[in-house]
Chains A and B, each alone.
Chain A
Amino acid sequence: MIWDIFFQPFADFGFMRRALLGCIAISVGATPVGVFLMLRRMSLTGDAMAHAILPGAAIGYLIAGLSLGAMTVGGLIAGMAVALLSGLVTRVTVLREDASLAAFYLISLALGVLIVSTRGSNVDLMHVLFGTVLALDDATLTLLCSIASLSTLTIALFFRPLVLECADPQFLRSVSGLSVVTHFTFLALVVLNLVAGFHALGTLMAVGIMILPAAAARFWAVGIGGMIVVAVAVAMLASVIGLLLSYYFSLPSGPTVILVAGIGYGLSIVFGPAGGLIAQASLRRHYET
């Protein structure tokens, strides 16, 4: 019975299996990046970068139609350009990172919407904004899995400088020249994972699978390693449940997966042992009595 509910759709339909594989790849790749974004108080940066990718993907689409390669390369170029330009402006001028990033992503977003609305149809816009998780072909799946592998490997290699860059950037700068490299490698990972995510979930929803599980994990684990494990688990669980819900109730899959992750976040706020509401209340009771 339970078996049927949870496994039958995946056993019966290839597109469900593909959707699941795609979502799991994104969970593995994007969520650890999301944990670091959250810890660096850059959660909204993910959102900004996702918007910044839009014109690149749109130009790719204009040149080559619904081509995986063109849209991926376009998205990567646009995302990296915004990341580099805003990073450069922050390091060279008096403007802080949040302001310079906001400026560039807004320009990029306006350009993207302009291109999509003058040249494309509404269907295309929906594809770019919300993805097509139920229609992932072999090439896209290969791309998603490759990006997830590359991202995991890079995080493993850069783990120590990344933690230092987040926790005490001044110290890292004083002992090593890796600070700048680490910062831009990290931004590149953000862009890479968002580009992967937008094929499946769309540019807007891709940020959801990056940030929501990370925010939920904060309530369950104290260390960074634990947070990453919990966040990936939450993202995977949200993928499975979200896909099943969208299958049974004919809901659009991308937003359903993200909403399930959102419910996981809500439950974590209440029940999470590391600073959740109930944990805090019982701590207060402990001190009052």
Chain B
Amino acid sequence: MPAVAFQKLTLGYDRQPAVHRLEAEIEDGSLTAIVGPNGAGKSTLLKGVTGALSPLEGHVSIKGLSRDDIAYLPQQSEIDQSFPLSVVDLVSMGLWREIGPFGWLGRKRQARIDDAIAAAGLTGFEARPIGSLSGGQMQRALFARLLLQDARLVLLDEPFTSIDARTMADLLDVVRGWHGEGRTVVAVLHDHETVRAHFPQTLMLARELVAHGPTEQVLTAENQFRARQMCEACAGPPHVCGRSAA
């Protein structure tokens, strides 16, 4: 059963399509990487799934899931790191859907917060202000927050950019944990080695769908060449894309 289905999905900004007539289904409980050249519409696609961007055409259907079942880690978070928050404060935001603006944290949830911080490898940093965290530590904190969101669909936009190998290995453990629990994980990634090693499914995008399926069959030299060509062709005005609007 698919968790997310794209039907003739066109997404874009200012009527310029960034994702064009995409037809694909992401299976429930799958661990999928989205790859493609810069400007291929990968981040745009995730925004389409969260509902932050409405389709110009077609649909995104998230079957059996509501918006509340989605956790999303954007590529560049808008977090103001100079804001006086501690790591614990930041991580506990992940409980918003449970406790809302007035709910009480309580001892049980406090324990879950500690567990999430431990799983992200930040134990001992609880009281540190977020402004003093390194890029990798910040990413760990954001993963701890995602853990608490307890979402059935997790969307990650380039989660491992500019962090060291050790942090990446720890965070990949978290991702594998989600996969093991039967959650659907979709991650935009650039490093094909990481994709090959850890992501069974891959969706290659170049505004339009290039290929989707088992990673080994998708990440071929031929597909990558085709993706680059399609993106270059799409760099011009949309009508040169080669497909009629009908």
Contact = CB atoms under 8 A, between A and B. Distances in A.
Interface of A: 39, 41, 157-158, 160-161, 163-164, 166-176, 178, 222-224, 227
A39 B83 contact: yes
A224 B84 CA distance: 6
Nearest to A182: B101
A222 B84 contact: yes
Contacts of A223: 84, 86
Contacts of B97: 175-176
A168 B80 contact: yes
B83 A171 contact: no
29 contacts: A41-B80, A157-B102, A160-B102, A161-B101, A163-B85, A166-B83, A167-B79, A167-B80, A167-B83, A167-B90, A168-B79, A168-B80, A168-B93, A170-B74, A170-B77, A170-B78, A170-B79, A171-B79, A171-B93, A171-B145, A172-B96, A173-B52, A174-B50, A174-B52, A176-B100, A178-B101, A222-B84, A223-B84, A227-B84
Contacts of A172: 96
A222 B129 contact: yes
A169 B101 CA distance: 14
B93 A166 contact: no
Contacts of B145: 171
B72 interface: yes
Task: Summarize A's interface: helix, strand, loop or mixed.
Answer: helix
B199 to A, nearest CB: 23
Given A167-B80, A167-B83, 19 more contacts: A160-B101, A164-B96, A166-B83, A167-B85, A168-B77, A168-B78, A168-B90, A168-B93, A170-B78, A170-B79, A171-B93, A171-B145, A173-B52, A174-B52, A174-B72, A175-B96, A175-B97, A178-B101, A223-B86
B72 A169 contact: no
A164 B77 CA distance: 13
Interface in B53-101: 68, 72, 74, 77-80, 83-86, 89-90, 93, 96-97, 100-101
Contact of A169 (B78, B85, B86): B78
Most buried by B among A171, A172, A223: A171
A195 B39 CA distance: 49
A227 B83 CA distance: 12
Contacts of A176: 96-97, 100
* 9 nearest CB pairs, A to B: A170-B78, A167-B83, A168-B79, A175-B96, A160-B101, A161-B101, A167-B85, A174-B72, A224-B84
A175 B153 CA distance: 14
B96 A39 contact: no
B152 to A, nearest CB: 15
A125 to B, nearest CB: 39
B76 to A, nearest CB: 9
A174 B83 CA distance: 19
A176 to B, nearest CB: 6
A216 to B, nearest CB: 15
Nearest to B145: A171
Contacts of A168: 77-80, 90, 93
B119 to A, nearest CB: 19
Contacts of B96: 164, 172, 175-176
B44 to A, nearest CB: 16
Contacts of A169: 78
A160, A163, A169, A172: most-surrounded residue (chain B CB, <10 A): A160
Contacts of B90: 167-168
A157 B102 CA distance: 8
